A = this chain, B = another copy of it.
Amino acid sequence: MRPEPTHAPIAPLDRDPTAVLRSHGCRVTGPRIAVLQVLLDHPGPIDTAHLTTHAQEIEPSVHETTVYRTLGTFSELGLVSHVHAGHGRSLVRLAGDDSVVAVCRECHAIVPVAADAVGTLAARVHADAGFTLEPGHFALEGLCAACAGAI
């Protein structure tokens, strides 16, 4: 990793993978363009398996290993962040998206959660225990409306 992490969120108008890669000072390669394109096209957290599948639709030769390494690179550059979900599945998303999500334990649906409500909880936890929640970095868990109804 040569270039300094910029931690600059991607500007709304700057949605061209190549331009983003260039502006972040890293080499423009097929796999990186493909991975970034998928992330740009997909608002909110996406799991690694889907990300890989979609990246391979754009650039069939992309190896799974490379996706992981690319995400590592992007993460150091501050381009993406990880979200821990239950089970061991892990999600990634573009930086700048600080939304909190909940994942259904049955169907794995990802639903957004009101940020202010989580903020209230975070403030409370900090006041009580000095613990600093990082709400964007983990997913809440439970049952979505459909699955709750089906059971």
Which residues from chain A sit less than 8 Å from chain B, CB to CB? 84-88, 90, 102, 104-105, 111-114, 117-118, 120-122, 124-125, 128-134, 137-145, 148
Contact = CB atoms under 8 A, between A and B. Distances in A.
A73 to B, nearest CB: 20
Contacts of A120: 117, 120-121
A140 B122 CA distance: 10
A97 B146 CA distance: 27
Given A137-B141, A138-B141, A104 B131 contact: yes
A124 B117 contact: yes
A139 B125 CA distance: 13
A122 B143 CA distance: 11
The oligomer's copy count stands at 2
State the main secondary structure of chain A at its contact with B: mixed
Contacts of A125: 102, 113-114, 117, 140, 142
Contacts of A84: 85-87, 141
A134 B143 CA distance: 8
A85 B138 CA distance: 9
A121 B125 CA distance: 12
Nearest to A119: B121
Given A86-B138, A131-B142, 12 more contacts: A86-B137, A105-B137, A113-B131, A114-B128, A129-B145, A130-B145, A131-B143, A131-B145, A133-B140, A133-B141, A137-B141, A138-B138
Contacts of A113: 121, 125, 128-129, 131
